[in-house]
Structure 1
């Protein structure tokens, strides 16, 4: 019996030794409580984050993107080319202008004591490669493209054709027209000569030395104050400006131009009308492809040259400086006077600017050909 009690006592002591002290139980309880609180805080924070995401994520998705910043293009600046001086003129060699154009003749006008003008012509001799003075002094001889023949009015009913030595090659008995600008005009290839007449116009054939007259009285009755004729590039048609007959004519104001009337040089028949507000500035006014034409526009407020469509007559450029201009072989435009020579693009943009030599004074008229 005593042995059983002893064994029971030793077992209770062993269990008491393995059990934690009283303060350790409290600490364990505190640790466990902190763990439970941290778990609850983490769970609460996670729930709050999830709830916040549910609210904000749709807003982010639905919020429109901010507009991209607008970059304003830098303003375009038109830089004018600097003015360069051309070399001095000399009679010893052909004088070429920018773009390859060549000066074919210089006419100097001199006012004498009796009030009449005298004219001195210095023309290019292509064979000799130099300039020489012509032996005649009429106002405005028409020089053929090859520079070998000159046509001019010899009297009220006469057209004379001469060579550079002054020898008469032919004479035409034609009732010529004396309106301003109505001088004879050679065709682009020099095979024909257009002569304005009092009744219309005549076409002289260089090969046969014959001419035909075409009766077109409305040409002059409806023509402008500067009734210039010009050949189209095809050499088969001519153009004559027509004034606006609805506008009363006045000495104080230039005529208002409404169109250029195109006639066939073969039949004399009217081919078409090109509406335009100016006068074509000669044979060189028509572009090589015939698509555009340079016209001189003179109004009370402006005076210059404009590029217009050769079919519709609509303008394609701003006014260029006058008084004269031609198309170059590459389609660019040479505008020139006795003080300047300017190269323009086909749309009228100024590309090059030059100052003419001092030989080309105000009393000198410059004739120019493409080459």
Structure 2
């Protein structure tokens, strides 16, 4: 197997060669969800590569020739410098500001089909927590979700290696070495973003279905399906499910059906519906204008949540949905254990106060550019 650092470096070079456009945070946020199901949205995935592959544009240095400058006014605020982060190494866990760690790097590729360039198999470089280092997984684009402890993988049947072994609507549960642990027969939901999601402690796997959702218990192997819910018909274009911190409730977005509908018009979010993962019953509705950005979008105490809107990421109250602070730029964000927020992409990392005020800004290592996707978790 090739050295993983060499794999990362070569992928960066190949992807960056064709990416001359300026970095666009809003565009990256809009298309982030639409590339999750690559078999249905190959064109969107290519757009993401063109957007995310470009590094930040740095300010030009002052000319060496002395020039007369006007005296600065007291109202001018000088922005803090962007500090570089150290290089990524496969032999040790890569830690980001706060208590965050990179658990996986997804390296995309492109292939030519019928004369057109489409997304090809991915390369997954995942953290082996027991060994304390990264290694390449023997899977392609069929990887759907990795458990928080990196010990279990949920695989959808569209990958070449796994598709030959299972039926269309089966989800495979494997360990990190590729050994089959279980096969789950579930009528999966095919909306964008409706991928399986592991619970915060990794003991349960949530699987969106056409009729509602199913929950897999790793301790017993039991699969409980909850059907006849309104999730399928009311879920938005980006039907991303997430677990709440308590590990007993899940949330799904609901589109605003009063807004204009159409293929070219992004769905507007009306609310987020919370369901019990134990009974399947609807618990409450939270008025929101965006989709929670993932499991770690919910604050550790469950009082607030990070949602993705058209203009960026925002903190809202987890009960009322009322905004609590400023919008934050970036494709992804998680709550840190101390209540601060980490925003990140393949080119940057930013630490925000709980109200969205920017505190620190960092430049990601050169190995992470070129359209790569990072999976980040609290340590």
Work out the CA distance in 2 between the residues paired with 1:293 and 1:140: 26
Checking the alignment, whether the CA contact within 8 Å between 1:152 and 1:183 is kept in structure 2 is no
Q: CA deviation at 1:139?
A: 4.4
Checking the alignment, whether the CA contact within 8 Å between 2:108 and 2:119 is kept in structure 1 is no
Matches within 5 A, 1:83-98: 83-98=82-97
1:123 is matched with which residue? Answer: 126
1:173 is matched with which residue? Answer: 185
2:226 is matched with which residue? Answer: 214
Work out the CA distance in 2 between the residues paired with 1:217 and 1:274: 17
| TM-score, with length taken from structure 2 | 0.75
In the alignment, is residue 364 of structure 1 matched against residue 372 of structure 2? yes
In the alignment, is residue 346 of structure 1 matched against residue 346 of structure 2? no
Work out the CA distance in 2 between the residues paired with 1:254 and 1:140: 26
Over 3 Å counting, the alpha-carbon distance change for 1:79 and 1:283 in structure 2 is farther
More helix by share: 1
- For residue 322 of structure 2, the aligned residue among 314, 336, 346 is 314
In the alignment, is residue 331 of structure 1 matched against residue 339 of structure 2? yes
Q: CA deviation at 1:350?
A: 0.5
1:135 is matched with which residue? Answer: 138
Q: Residue deviations 1:248-278, cap 9 Å, x none?
A: 2122221110100000000000000000100
Q: CA deviation at 1:138?
A: 2.5
Work out the CA distance in 2 between the residues paired with 1:79 and 1:147: 41
- Name the SS for the 1:255 alignment partner: coil
| TM-score, with length taken from structure 1 | 0.77
1:55 is matched with which residue? Answer: none
Checking the alignment, whether the CA contact within 8 Å between 2:192 and 2:239 is kept in structure 1 is yes
1:58 is matched with which residue? Answer: none
2:112 is matched with which residue? Answer: 113
- Name the SS for the 1:213 alignment partner: strand
- Name the SS for the 1:118 alignment partner: coil
Q: Which has the larger radius of gyration?
A: 1
- Name the SS for the 1:284 alignment partner: helix
Work out the CA distance in 1 between the residues paired with 2:273 and 2:136: 37
- Name the SS for the 1:343 alignment partner: strand
Runs of 4+ in 1 over 3 A off after TM superposition: 74-80
Over 3 Å counting, the alpha-carbon distance change for 1:246 and 1:75 in structure 2 is farther
1:144 is matched with which residue? Answer: 147
Q: Residue deviations 1:189-219, cap 9 Å, x none?
A: 1111000111110000010011100014420
- Name the SS for the 1:81 alignment partner: coil
- Name the SS for the 2:232 alignment partner: helix
| Greater relative contact order (CA < 8 Å, ≥ 6 in sequence) | 2
Q: Residue deviations 1:218-242, cap 9 Å, x none?
A: 2021111000000000000000001
Q: CA deviation at 1:317?
A: 1.4
Checking the alignment, whether the CA contact within 8 Å between 1:191 and 1:207 is kept in structure 2 is yes
- For residue 270 of structure 1, the aligned residue among 279, 282, 288 is 282
In the alignment, is residue 82 of structure 1 matched against residue 94 of structure 2? no
- Report the count of equivalent residues: 294
**CA RMSD, Structure 1 to Structure 2 (Å):** 1.5
Structure 2: segments with no counterpart, 5+ residues? 1-72, 158-166
2:256 is matched with which residue? Answer: 244
